[in-house]
Structure 1
């Protein structure tokens, strides 16, 4: 060591304050501290803003989760139906002046059934009709339910109690409707609870109360199959018997027909061939039918999207409002800081820190509340339509919801930063 050398000189770097070594980090910490302090001071506006961001995140996650859940549920229901091709006569229309309330557009359903089953590429054909019917039991008053005319038997129909239909549709009798009526009915669990009946009990079913009084049916099974498909309580009888009690035997109408293709046959090719042979009807594969149903609900989905957009605007407006309020109420302090040499970028960084704090709390709260909200909506859907998984929350949806809060925070801070840049110290001091 040379004479006169300072023995402590070598430790200067070690004792240099961290703020001198990392000025940017120090500035960020200071801005964050100021931001948290100011938000704590204005608790009312802070809580309101966090709730606004939470609402926006919650609306976005629940709508996205509902869209995914509806598509998944629809796909599962179509797959569970075990059908390959769907035939309809166009959209189902209401007929207020007619018995049953629905205008079924497929005519000569039994004849078309026989023609299609004669094809080598078709294995099973199932015509179905939907009508509004009056139903009562010996212990209940009349209720209007959806009556389904379909064969409630076979592998595609799940019977949870009872045995289902004991005989095929014999009342049709070659188109004369002179065969005996089986007077058998299959119901779903909600109908059983509504009517307080079980297998072996009686139900009175008809297109009018007068017709219902004359037609006593015996409950032979409980099945969720058709109520899940329709999303409403229902009673299922043979097609010809539903036509009989709703006065639609003349045209032999049905709402739709489902087909199961023969082993090895291509559903798309079969659908194309049938469409060519029957141009008056709409023939679609499973996936095409699901897509068409979703397209019909485009207005509802657009309305839901509009609600989410409004929620996002509300959250963004609240974020901008609280930051503008901060700038307005502290113009003198901000002007003094600028006069002392504090740069606009440092003051803007404080706003960014505030916005990120608001967005983080709002995003986390929105994601956390999405879970109980989804559970509640699923329970409500189970009670109303019989589906229990209408709202699903995959990780991508939750991450997207939190990202929305983050983006809203950045946008609001950028929008307010211009106000700080425009502050002139001489105007406020």
Structure 2
């Protein structure tokens, strides 16, 4: 049975309050979506019929500025995370300069010092990655509930395992690499003069 959207809203009592502007149709997994869309378009020429791929493409074309802003925010978040992590390990190395100078005085190489601070970075990256893995499903759930209340679509945001793996790997790599670089630089400046007599 097919009911025009306005009539459906009148029957449901949601005229004037329903934000829906389109109706979705589910097809079986083995159905050709383009063929179904063409059949519906011919049967109901007064409606604009699109496949899900066409709908997504249309939304992307209409919302390029929003998507570009989102991509920019993600990029800034990554760059900001790297800068904050670098700042953290520069401060850690500065606060530990006496201990690092003592280690250099007893003959430890810059590589060992960099590895020591790099291990701290690995632990912090591991903890940060685990926190990210734990909070991402909660954030996705919140965004999906918000999208369902605004757009009427449930499960709009999906995070495949690659997203979790990529985020966890990024946390480990950034934490470790930044810490190793900070440790290497700290090893250069860890001198006997920094030891208190």
TM-score by length of 2: 0.74
Secondary structure of the corresponding residue to residue 383 of structure 1:
helix
Secondary structure of the corresponding residue to residue 406 of structure 1:
helix
**8 Å CA contact 1:228, 1:387 repeated in 2:** no
Distance 1:191 1:362, change over 3 A: farther
Instruction: Look up the match of 1:340.
Output: 106
Q: Which has the larger radius of gyration?
A: 1
Instruction: Look up the match of 1:370.
Output: 136
Q: 1:227 aligns with which of 13, 20, 41?
A: 20
Q: 1:406 aligns with which of 172, 183, 186?
A: 172
**8 Å CA contact 1:355, 1:410 repeated in 2:** yes
Instruction: Look up the match of 2:8.
Output: 186
Distance 1:424 1:410, change over 3 A: closer
Tell me how many residue pairs correspond in the alignment. Answer: 177
Distance 1:343 1:190, change over 3 A: farther
Q: Distance in 1 between matches of 2:73 and 2:12?
A: 32
Instruction: Look up the match of 1:311.
Output: 77
Instruction: Look up the match of 1:383.
Output: 149
Q: Distance in 1 between matches of 2:22 and 2:120?
A: 50
Residues 16-27 of structure 1: matches in 2 within 5 Å?
none
Q: CA deviation at 1:349?
A: 0.8
Residues 153-302 of structure 1: matches in 2 within 5 Å?
154=2, 164=3, 185-187=7-9, 192=14, 227=20, 229=22, 260-261=38-39, 286=51, 287-288=53-54, 290-302=56-68
Distance 1:370 1:403, change over 3 A: same
**8 Å CA contact 1:327, 1:420 repeated in 2:** yes
Q: Distance in 1 between matches of 2:104 and 2:165?
A: 38
Is 1:425 the counterpart of 2:173 in the alignment?
A: no
**8 Å CA contact 1:320, 1:416 repeated in 2:** yes
Instruction: Look up the match of 1:145.
Output: none
Is 1:328 the counterpart of 2:106 in the alignment?
A: no
Unaligned runs of 5+ in 2: 25-36, 42-48
Unaligned runs of 5+ in 1: 1-152, 155-163, 166-183, 196-223, 232-258, 268-283
TM-score by length of 1: 0.36
Is 1:357 the counterpart of 2:179 in the alignment?
A: no
Q: Deviations over 1:344-376 (max 9, x none)?
A: 111111111111111111111111111111111
**8 Å CA contact 2:118, 2:176 repeated in 1:** yes
**8 Å CA contact 2:111, 2:184 repeated in 1:** no
Q: Deviations over 1:35-70 (max 9, x none)?
A: xxxxxxxxxxxxxxxxxxxxxxxxxxxxxxxxxxxx
**8 Å CA contact 2:89, 2:179 repeated in 1:** yes
Q: Deviations over 1:13-43 (max 9, x none)?
A: xxxxxxxxxxxxxxxxxxxxxxxxxxxxxxx
Instruction: Report which stretch shifted further, 307-316 or 409-418.
Output: 409-418
Distance 1:393 1:289, change over 3 A: closer
Secondary structure of the corresponding residue to residue 227 of structure 1:
coil
Q: Deviations over 1:186-233 (max 9, x none)?
A: 2189962976xxxxxxxxxxxxxxxxxxxxxxxxxxxx9x926389xx
Q: CA deviation at 1:288?
A: 4.9
Q: Give the helix-richer structure, 1 or 2.
A: 2
Q: CA deviation at 1:289?
A: 5.7
